Structure 1
């Protein structure tokens, strides 16, 4: 069994009461399913990330987080990633409700380097583990309130392909990253703030120069945790 290092975060407990699920279904039915790209007027007691996780898990929905609040169409762009799948000209999205929040709320004018991950371990019986996360930003920016309000875009999954399974010590790992090689029109969007991100106070800091030295010395050593 693969032992996950303690520096990875685990997904907080999720509310699954019938009333909460009914609320998620109502928002999906009224604002996501029709399309149109409208902003969802979130009015539920459950945290926003739980609604986002729900639509990822139960609907054919993927998510993209951004500081831009009025994107009407996503066009493929060249990414910059150490992984081949994530280093293509594509529209990238996540099949998880928490991971894209990180991208939506990080202030890129203050933060020059990001290290992050979201994955599940697939057991011998095919059952997936709970999601694991890693979030780190430029260390010197942590003291400078490097956060902003952002937007999560809910995208139709039809044109996306999942990142191939990774093999870690003989154990399959499913990364929650998907890519579309064609443009994608959002179905809806949901505003988020730093307070909506449950790992806000736990985000790690790293030295970009020192991290690059670690990458060169050990390209497979992700996340090069300090």
Structure 2
């Protein structure tokens, strides 16, 4: 079963052994510093590729925020249409691009957001993706409600993954994680709107029809018409 064309795919970028080694060296050097150091990023590779590489290794959870000074994440009640996302928890992503979206969208300037990051699993276990959807309030989109933000690197161990959901004969794996205990970040990376490769592909939606968009994402239906 294929996803509708409004789902985006991760940009192509070469990830050879030299690039992996460079990313590993930067991360390990940063983690040698106590506290929550800011990653001094001067590499030629895009920041999104670095974050995706870290997340894909499975040892880190990523959290995007507009606050650059978070020393400890505390569980707090979320407000989400999905049960897993509507708990008192610390939420994070197992995908670098998804975390970047939360970092660069100024939530004070948008009424709501609709977004997703998924992988499709065939009955054989073969995984496809990741696939993304990013949308903000249509009324805010024309004003470009973006900001410089921070992506925090958190230890993966205290987090629980969202359970897969059925999607035709396949299953959908959602890159959402939740921790029900406080979490201290290990490091952080400053990101700008220009670092986000999907900036011009962020959609707009009607705030009064959020359930329609959520249903479309869950069932593979077309994007609701304006």
**1:35 shift after superposition:** 5.7
Given the two structures, how large is their TM-score scaled by the length of structure 2? 0.93
User: CA contact under 8 A between 2:147 and 2:192: conserved in structure 1?
Assistant: yes
Q: State the TM-score, normalizing by the size of structure 1.
A: 0.93
Q: Which residue of 1 aligns with 2:86?
A: 87
Q: Say which is worse superposed, 11-20 or 38-47, in terms of deviation.
A: 11-20
2:101 is matched with 102
Inter-CA distance 154–33: structure 2 relative to 1 (3 Å threshold): farther
User: What SS is found at the alignment partner of 1:98?
Assistant: helix
Distance in 2 (alpha carbons) for counterparts of 1:165 and 1:210:
25
Q: Aligned in 2, Cα 1:32/1:225: closer, same or farther, shift over 3 Å?
A: farther
Aligned residue in 1 for 2:45:
46
Mapped partners of 1:15, 1:71: distance in 2: 33
SS of residue paired to 2:128: coil
Indicate conservation of the 8 Å contact 1:33/1:187, yes or no: no
Would you say the 8 A contact 1:32–1:154 is kept in 2?
no
Whether contact under 8 Å (1:94, 1:176) holds in the other structure is yes
Distance in structure 2 (CA, Å) of the matches to 1:189 and 1:160:
18
Shift of 1:140: 1.4
Aligned to 2:223: 225
The answer as to whether partners of 2:64 and 2:150 remain within 8 angstroms in 1 is: yes
Bigger CA drift: 87-96 or 202-211? Answer: 202-211
Superposition pairs for residues 1-226 of structure 1, below 5 Å?
2-32=1-31, 36-212=35-211, 214=212, 220-222=215-217, 225-226=223-224
- Cα deviation code 1:4-59 (max 9, x no counterpart): 11010010013212321121011111113666210000011110011111111124
Q: Deviations over 1:141-197 (max 9, x none)?
A: 111121000000000011101000101113111000010000000000000000000
Structure 1, 147-156 or 5-14: larger mean CA deviation:
5-14
For 2:127, what is the secondary structure of its paired residue? coil
- Per-residue CA deviations over 1:78-116 (Å, capped at 9, x if unaligned) read 001111111000000000010011110111121111000
SS of 1:209's partner is: helix
Question: Which stretches in structure 1 are left out of the alignment for 5+ residues?
Answer: none
Q: How many residues align?
A: 221
